[in-house]
C-alpha cells in the first residue's frame, strides 16, 4: 500500500458517519499499524496511510508522523494515529506541527479525556510496549470521544494556541 493511499469500507449496517483517520508508523510501530488498519477498515473507517509502506529497520518516525500531523492540522483527516516503538518520538514529532494536540496514550481514561477536555487530535501509541488488543480498545475510545467544548476547556486551549504564536525560539 502506498503512502497517502486511501482505503475505505462503507459501513451500512449501523448508518454511522465514516470518519477519515490518518495513520503513520515507523519500523517500531509497523506491525501494530498494519493490524490497526485492518481493524479500522473492518469497523467502517476511511483510513489514509502515511507510511511506512514496508518494514525498514532504519527508517525514521518523523518521515511518516510529520506528514500525518500536517494532514490533521490542515483538516485533511479528522484524527491521527502515530506509532513508533515507544510512542514518545511520534508524540514529540507530531506536537511540532502547529494545531496538533498529540499525546502518548496507554490507558482508557486518557484516551477519552484527552479528546473531551483537551481536544486531542493525534493519539500516539508505542508499538513495542502496547499490545494490539489494548491498542484497539484505546483507538476505539479515542475515535468515539468528542470535545466537550466547555468554556474552561476552550479558555485553556486558547492559551495554548496563543503560546504557539508567541514563542519564537532562536
Enzyme catalytic residues: 84
A 10 A CB-CB count for 86 gives 18
- Identify whether the C-beta of residue 47 lies closer than 8 Å to the C-beta of residue 75: no
Q: Which three cell numbers stand for residue 112?
A: 477519552
Cα separation values, 102 from 2, 30, 130, 150, Å: 24, 19, 17, 20
Q: Give the C-alpha separation, 139 to 125, whole Å.
A: 9
Dihedral of alpha carbons 140, 44, 48, 130, sign: positive
Q: Which three cell numbers stand for residue 106?
A: 496507554
Ranges assigned E (strand) in 2-44: 5-7, 20-25
Q: Which of 71, 84, 104, 110 minimizes the C-alpha distance to 32?
A: 84
Q: H or E segment at 136?
A: helix 132-144
Amino acid at each position: 500500500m502506498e503512502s497517502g493511499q486511501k482505503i475505505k469500507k462503507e459501513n451500512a449496517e449501523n448508518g454511522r458517519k465514516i470518519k477519515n483517520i490518518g495513520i503513520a508508523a515507523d519500523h517500531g510501530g509497523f506491525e501494530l499499524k498494519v493490524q490497526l488498519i485492518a481493524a479500522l477498515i473492518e469497523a467502517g473507517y476511511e483510513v489514509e496511510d502515511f507510511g511506512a509502506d514496508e518494514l525498514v529497520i532504519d527508517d525514521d518516525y518523523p518521515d511518516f508522523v510529520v506528514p500525518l500531523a500536517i494532514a490533521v492540522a490542515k483538516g485533511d483527516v479528522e484524527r491521527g494515529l502515530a506509532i513508533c516503538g515507544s510512542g514518545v518520538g511520534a508524540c514529540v514529532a507530531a506536537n511540532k506541527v502547529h494545531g496538533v494536540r498529540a499525546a502518548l496514550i496507554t490507558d482508557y481514561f486518557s484516551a477519552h479525556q484527552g479528546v473531551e477536555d483537551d481536544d486531542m487530535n493525534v493519539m500516539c501509541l508505542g508499538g513495542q510496549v502496547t499490545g494490539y488488543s489494548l491498542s484497539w480498545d484505546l483507538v476505539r475510545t479515542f475515535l468515539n470521544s468528542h470535545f466537550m467544548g466547555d468554556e474552561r476547556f476552550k479558555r485553556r486551549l486558547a492559551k495554548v494556541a496563543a503560546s504557539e504564536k508567541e514563542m519564537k525560539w532562536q
